[in-house]
Structure 1
Amino acid sequence: MNIRDCEIFIHLSECKSSSRTALHFQLSQPAIIKIISNIEHQLGKELFYKGIQQRKRNFELTQAGIIYKRFCESVIAQHFQCIQQLDELNGYKNEQLRIGIPPLGASIIGKYLVNLKLKFPHIKLNFTETSAAQIETQLLAKELDLGFLPYETHAPFLQREIYRSDIYALYRSSQRETEEQHLSMQDVSKKTLILLKDAENFNQIVLKGLAERGMSPEICCKTSQLDFLFSMVESGVAYTILPKPYTQFQHRQFKTLSLFPFLQWKLNMTWLEDNQNPVVSSWLNVVRL
């Protein structure tokens, strides 16, 4: 196993397509499957559920796969940190790239930062985690070089969509519901809703989408702490609505309900048309859909 194997595994677990993963890494599909099979052989665990007749994969993570994905994300993050420390040891006079990241999106953006740093180790990355509205304001003031926004903008900005995800309702089911099919969104929306405090734009998208379908959920509170939010859901006091990457849990009493196709979450890389920072072009060479 190496860093590239970790990146391939994470990409496959998120896009759920060996062809798209092969295209992204410029490999063949059999090569992708062989890499995954080798990892499973080394671990002695299946990372993805088997499909029909135990042959075709559906690329849904097993419990072992969820644990291994967290491990891979940790390895990549530590590798990135190591590169930064080596740069400092070598006395680099780094050029800077100032990046604005919204509360929802840091874990998604991380893999792109790793690729950027690997290809351009001289670049110094400075991060600001703040609201989408504040990111847009700081871009206009040229206090940031790049930002990630969950909505589309117009001139004087340019944008590139880098990520798209379904939005899911996450709730705790009763014993009766565990043995039956998922509840409908109308049923779930009768429960109390808890939202992330610092994700106002995302919340607006969710509430508008629900309102257009005649649903007006009662909001019990908003919190900036994901742990508290998940504990409220686990207790059955409330349900929440989040992008899919934030709803993948092993807890058997958690259930998810997709709000696709009427609700999706996007991340758009955003920069000013007249941005003169040469590092921005380096970033654009790294980021691909």
Structure 2
Amino acid sequence: MNLRTLRIFVEVVRQGGFSQAAATVSLTQSAISKAVRTLEEELGLPLLNRLGHRIELTPAGDIAYRRAQTMLAERQDLLVELDELKGLQRGVLRVGIPPVGSGVVFAVMFAAYRSRYPDIEIALLEHGGQKLNECLHAGEIDVAAILAPVHADFDCQDVRVEPLVALMSASHPLAGSARVDFTQLASTPFILFEGGFALNRIILDACARKGVQPKITARSAQIDFIVDLVAAGLGVAFFPRMLAEKYTHAGIWRAPLDEPHTDWHMTLAWRRQAYLPPAARAWLELAAQMRQQ
């Protein structure tokens, strides 16, 4: 068993198939298939069920996938520590951020970081919360900006807490309301972000607590497009307040969401007990200082 084969196997699972993994690791599909077969033969158990163009993990595959992620993350920690031991002068800040709200929250912070540490390279990864959690587990990034609550394997520090605001067309019957809740919005279609965005979980969990079954009419990863859909009367969307306040044109009405436990609670998370490079520690220190200002 070698780490290259394990990485190929992990990418097949994460990408959802052999052809997708081939593009990610720059190998042919046949080479990817051969590597997975070799690993299965070495372990003596099938790791994947091949279901046409889809794959799913077997029980043995689930164990192998979790262990492989840990081994690959440990390898990355080893390389980082050895680089520093060899006198690496230029660090790399590997940080993941979500598309929702990052410009408002982190743009100034990145500018301050660049001013303090001009020789540190900033390697940014932008994904929804689910993908950022996976990347952090796998050691592909050192710090991720994700919504609370965080996984038990992570430590975290708070960055910002914002209430959610409902955005609706100015012609919506509830336009003009000072506050709205999910019971009032039950008959209005919801416009959510694409799957994998943690904000969706907050909204849908709160609906479930109220016994509301929302009709989801559209999903998108593009904030401006969601706002355009709202203005066109397609449905209602939900943004953290500081992001909602950027949209003040006449076609939109903003109403604070009158629902408990729906705050947008952004944290910076990192793997518990994992090696945290100096560049990442400096990022966390800056974030803590700026939160106190």
Q: TM-score range by the shorter chain?
A: 0.5 to 0.7
Which stretch shows the higher mean deviation, 106-115 or 167-176? 167-176
Give the one of 97, 116, 121 matched to 1:101.
97
Whole-angstrom CA distance in 2 between matches of 1:112 and 1:284:
10
* 1:214 is the counterpart of 2:186: no
Post-superposition offset of 1:99: 0.7
Whole-angstrom CA distance in 1 between matches of 2:152 and 2:248:
43
Give the one of 246, 250, 253 matched to 1:252.
250
Asked if 1 retains the 8 angstrom alpha-carbon contact of 2:167 and 2:252, the reply is yes
Change (3 A) 1:176 1:241: closer
Asked if 2 retains the 8 angstrom alpha-carbon contact of 1:103 and 1:198, the reply is no
Whole-angstrom CA distance in 1 between matches of 2:109 and 2:127:
19
Which stretch shows the higher mean deviation, 120-129 or 97-106? 97-106
Asked if 1 retains the 8 angstrom alpha-carbon contact of 2:101 and 2:243, the reply is no
Aligned-residue identity in percent = 21
Post-superposition offset of 1:181: 4.0
1:89-145 CA-partner distances (Å, limit 9, x unpaired): xxxx63111111122232122222122111111211001112322222222222111
**What is the aligned partner in structure 2 of residue 231 from structure 1?**
228
Post-superposition offset of 1:237: 2.1
**What is the aligned partner in structure 1 of residue 278 from structure 2?**
278
Q: How high is the TM-score relative to the length of structure 2? A: 0.61
Change (3 A) 1:254 1:189: farther
**What is the aligned partner in structure 1 of residue 169 from structure 2?**
172
Whole-angstrom CA distance in 1 between matches of 2:212 and 2:172:
25
Asked if 1 retains the 8 angstrom alpha-carbon contact of 2:178 and 2:256, the reply is no
Post-superposition offset of 1:261: 5.1
Structure 1: which amino acid aligns with 2:248? Q
Post-superposition offset of 1:252: 2.6
Change (3 A) 1:112 1:193: same
Change (3 A) 1:145 1:177: closer
Matches within 5 A, 1:40-55: none
Post-superposition offset of 1:196: 1.3
Give the one of 188, 191, 195 matched to 2:192.
195
Matches within 5 A, 1:34-45: none
**What is the aligned partner in structure 2 of residue 148 from structure 1?**
145
| Secondary structure in 2 matching 1:187 | coil
1:12-59 CA-partner distances (Å, limit 9, x unpaired): xxxxxxxxxxxxxxxxxxxxxxxxxxxxxxxxxxxxxxxxxxxxxxxx
Matches within 5 A, 1:68-83: none
Asked if 2 retains the 8 angstrom alpha-carbon contact of 1:160 and 1:270, the reply is yes
Post-superposition offset of 1:264: 0.4
1:264-283 CA-partner distances (Å, limit 9, x unpaired): 01111011232241212211
Whole-angstrom CA distance in 2 between matches of 1:191 and 1:209:
16
Unaligned runs of 5+ in 2: 1-88
Asked if 1 retains the 8 angstrom alpha-carbon contact of 2:180 and 2:256, the reply is no
Whole-angstrom CA distance in 2 between matches of 1:144 and 1:113:
16
| Secondary structure in 2 matching 1:212 | helix
| Secondary structure in 2 matching 1:238 | coil
**What is the aligned partner in structure 2 of residue 264 from structure 1?**
263
1:202-260 CA-partner distances (Å, limit 9, x unpaired): 10110111221232221112112223211211111211112112212222342122125
Paired positions, count = 197
**What is the aligned partner in structure 2 of residue 59 from structure 1?**
none
Asked if 2 retains the 8 angstrom alpha-carbon contact of 1:223 and 1:229, the reply is yes
Structure 1: which amino acid aligns with 2:275? N
Post-superposition offset of 1:184: 3.7
Change (3 A) 1:154 1:215: closer
